[in-house]
Amino acid sequence: MFDLLQTSSRSRARLGRLNTTRGTIDTPVFMPVGTQASVKALDLRELNEIGTEILLGNTYHLFLRPGMDIIRKAGGLHTFMNWDKPILTDSGGFQVYSLAKIRSVRDDGVEFRSHLSGETLFLGPRESMAIQRELGSDIAMLFDECPPHGCSADELESAVKRTLDWAAICAEQPRAEGQFYFGIVQGANSPELRRRCAEELVAMDFDGYAVGGVSVGEPEPEMMHAVEITEPYLPENKARYAMGLGTPAQLVELVARGIDMFDCVLPTRVARNGTAYTTAGAINLRAGHQKEDFGPIEEGCDCFACTHYTRAYLRHLLKAGEILGLRMLSIHNSHFYMEVMRQIRSHLAAGTFDDFREEFIAKYQPTSKVLEGRANSKLHNGG
């Protein structure tokens, strides 16, 4: 399933290939977030043009709307959204904890009220995997409990225990044809709990593993530490996924820490606020000094936005409230993320990743805290 092709001599970075029934995914890879069976502001043609190999969908949101009856009648999620490449679906666990108006965690799952209708619903490991089976995703994430940042030691230990108990139940559930199951390692910044969770999940022999419970409000050093204390316990012959991350600089640093797969809503979310990513950092295209800048968002970028429009024109669209402006920024940002991953893979293949890492981080300027992570937990898979 996962082929490890090459490793860096100076870091934990890995070049790999994830083989699914719907196609091969070159890793490290970034997965655009299609929470509602759509990546915000981008159509399928644009996703293909920027080189998208896999999308992310969300169990919680699709379960609520359009609902499984519609998905079932459509013939599954791929057919419903007309996407023939791989899809990874989140389990819905994070959204239950972050979006549900009222929730009650039990040993068999979570009872909650829909944030859309107020209806009382239940989601547990059996229900989550059944929904993902009907969605027909190529990679289904196990149902887990994501403890909030700053929770007590008892709450954290209980969350890890439930995550492991639920993983054992998930493992017993039937799968869609060719579907992979990925376990999720919880444990916040506790080395002991991260080790325990990882080792017990690995003993269950899932198809891949994710580092969960990161970028849920903690400072960036804590997030990096959580990955660092988890990665040594993950098998080398399985894909590794950091959930809900991150900025371009974070992606480069996380690749250096041994992570293969990423997803984040930032490329399209910040685009809707007028922010564009460049190799020098994030820039605000609404700013007054962009008014007479008739160059592209970034020199040398071959995305549709940069090859057809100037900063001045895009600023005009944003200030005028024209949809084209946020669409073009969404295209550019998504292309930029894909290009960063392409460069990472190219340098890994050439054995020059660590030099690339140093140069990229030195050039990329830190931006506001809003862009440096998922400060609001609703960012995660919320588009």
On the question of a cis peptide bond just before residue 66, with omega within 30 degrees of 0, the verdict is yes
Q: Are residues 203 and 62 in the same domain?
A: yes
Instruction: Count the domains in the chain.
Output: 2
* Containing structural domain, residue 312: 271-363
Q: Are residues 73 and 199 in the same domain?
A: yes
Q: Are residues 13 and 153 in the same domain?
A: yes
Q: Are residues 252 and 322 in the same domain?
A: no
Tens-digit pLDDT profile for residues 138-163: 999 999 999 888 999 999 999 999 99
| Rounded Cα–Cα distance for residues 370 and 206 (Å) | 34
Residue 115 lies in a domain: no
| Rounded Cα–Cα distance for residues 331 and 298 (Å) | 13
Catalytic residues: 90, 263
Mean pLDDT, consecutive 10-residue stretches, the chain (383 aa), reads 97 98 98 97 98 97 97 98 98 82 88 90 96 98 93 96 98 98 97 98 98 92 97 98 96 98 97 97 96 98 98 98 98 98 98 98 73 37 55
Residue 179 lies in a domain: yes
From 266, 298, 323, give the residue that closes a domain: 266
Q: Are residues 135 and 25 in the same domain?
A: yes
Residue 143 lies in a domain: yes
The kind and range of the H/E element at 111 are: strand 109-113
Q: Are residues 215 and 198 in the same domain?
A: yes
Residue 368 lies in a domain: no
Q: Are residues 177 and 59 in the same domain?
A: yes
Q: Torsion angle of alpha carbons 350, 355, 358, 359, nearest 10°?
A: -80
Q: Are residues 196 and 81 in the same domain?
A: yes
On the question of a cis peptide bond just before residue 246, with omega within 30 degrees of 0, the verdict is yes
Query: What global pTM score does this model have?
Result: 0.95
Residue 252 lies in a domain: yes
Q: Are residues 307 and 210 in the same domain?
A: no
Q: Are residues 299 and 236 in the same domain?
A: no
Q: Which is it for the CA torsion 336, 340, 346, 352, positive or negative?
A: positive
The values of phi and psi at residue 375, to 5°, are: -60, -40
Tens-digit pLDDT profile for residues 94-109: 888 777 667 899 999 9
Residue 85 lies in a domain: yes
Q: In 187-224, which positions are buried (b, 16+ CB within 10 angstroms) versus exposed (e)?
A: bbbbeebbbbbbebbbeeebbbbbbbbbbbebebeebb
Residue 369 lies in a domain: no
Q: What is the pLDDT of residue 366?
A: 75
CB atoms within 10 A of CB 278: 19
Q: Are residues 54 and 91 in the same domain?
A: yes
Residue 107 lies in a domain: no
